[in-house]
Amino acid sequence: MSAPKPFFGANWKMHKGPSEARAFVRAFAGLHRPRPDAAVVFFPPSISLPAFREAAGRDDLELGVQDVHQETEGAHTGAISAGMAADAGAAWGLAGHSERRREFGDDDDLVAAKAARLVEAGLRPVLCVGETLEERDDGRLEAVLRRQLAAVVPTLPGAAARELVVAYEPVWAIGTGRTASPEDAADAHGTVRRELVEHLGPETADAIPIIYGGSVKPHNVDELLAAPGVDGALVGGASLDPEAFARICEAGAG
């Protein structure tokens, strides 16, 4: 089977309201030429989804939502549903980002519920997994990744599983300036791939992109993407700069 299509995700977190989103996409569109061999997906704050979509005017710049509620609707002040995100232009959704797990208490069961809502709304899930520094130092990397994947992957229907992207993000490398070495990334991605094969079989598992997230920058992206099993990047801080993210999105191009 051919290698998964490279995936470049821009997680803006709590940055860029509608006006800034419009300005960014105009600048980025002038720097980034359409790349048919890769997926380029932006995850702005939900309030900026319509502004980004209207300013982009390009189908190759896709949109995702950073988080959704585990219910489809109801009395949940401040929350948005997966269906609302789809109506606003999202085609993708993050589930289980480490900041959601740490700051908002998203445990494995809640991540699985949110992933299910994404799938039901027709959004493609990007499942985030990764270990803390304490877990890594205790030798629990493989156990943590296996647990996080096992909570979600078996619950996805067959068609949805084939649409999955998995983002390995070592928690100790997010926003810290520290980056896992290419060897660290390759080792963790290998564990993820084996777990996917166990749950989905080799044909489906081998087609799922496994991307790396954690202080990805223009100066290290080429080395990271050259590591075995690394199929793209989920980018935080560097994705806020159109020039930096455009450079990142060129990585691995033929």
C-alpha 46/C-alpha 67 separation (Å) is 8
Helices (H) and strands (E) in the chain, counts: 12, 8
Instruction: Kindly name the residue from 97, 131, 189, 195 that is annotated as catalytic.
Output: 97
C-alpha 170/C-alpha 247 separation (Å) is 23
Longest alpha-carbon distance in the chain: 50
3-state class (DSSP) for residue 212: strand
Does 169 participate in catalysis according to the annotation? Answer: yes
Residue holding tokens 């502004």? 51
Does 163 participate in catalysis according to the annotation? Answer: no
Instruction: Kindly name the residue from 62, 131, 169, 195 that is annotated as catalytic.
Output: 169
C-alpha 135/C-alpha 150 separation (Å) is 18
Give me the active site residues, please.
97, 169
